[in-house]
Amino acid sequence: MIVLASTIVGVILGLTSAKRRNGNRLDLLQYAAGYGIAFALLGVFLTLFLERLAG
């Protein structure tokens, strides 16, 4: 659940970042993908950390 939520947040941040830089449609997709992947990876590490902490 954390991974999905962080991926969605990353995609939204990527889209807003590309729009702020006046990017075209492909720029929007690239930023959304990049931020989404990065935030998903952070979500995986956060999930693993929390599981180790709880268990």
Question: In this predicted model, what pLDDT tens digit does every residue of 2-42 receive, in sequence order?
Answer: 999 999 999 999 999 999 999 999 999 999 999 999 999 99
CA–CA distance, 39 with 10 (Å, rounded to integer): 5
Q: What's the pTM value of the predicted model, to 2 decimals? A: 0.91
What is the crossing angle of helices 25-54 and 2-20, to 10°? 150
Tokens of 52: 């180790």
Q: Residue 43 belongs to what domain range?
A: 2-54
Question: Is the per-residue pLDDT at 1 higher than 90?
Answer: yes
Q: What is the reported pLDDT for 55?
A: 78
Contact (CB, 8 A) for 35 and 10: yes
Per the structure, the count of domains in the chain is 1
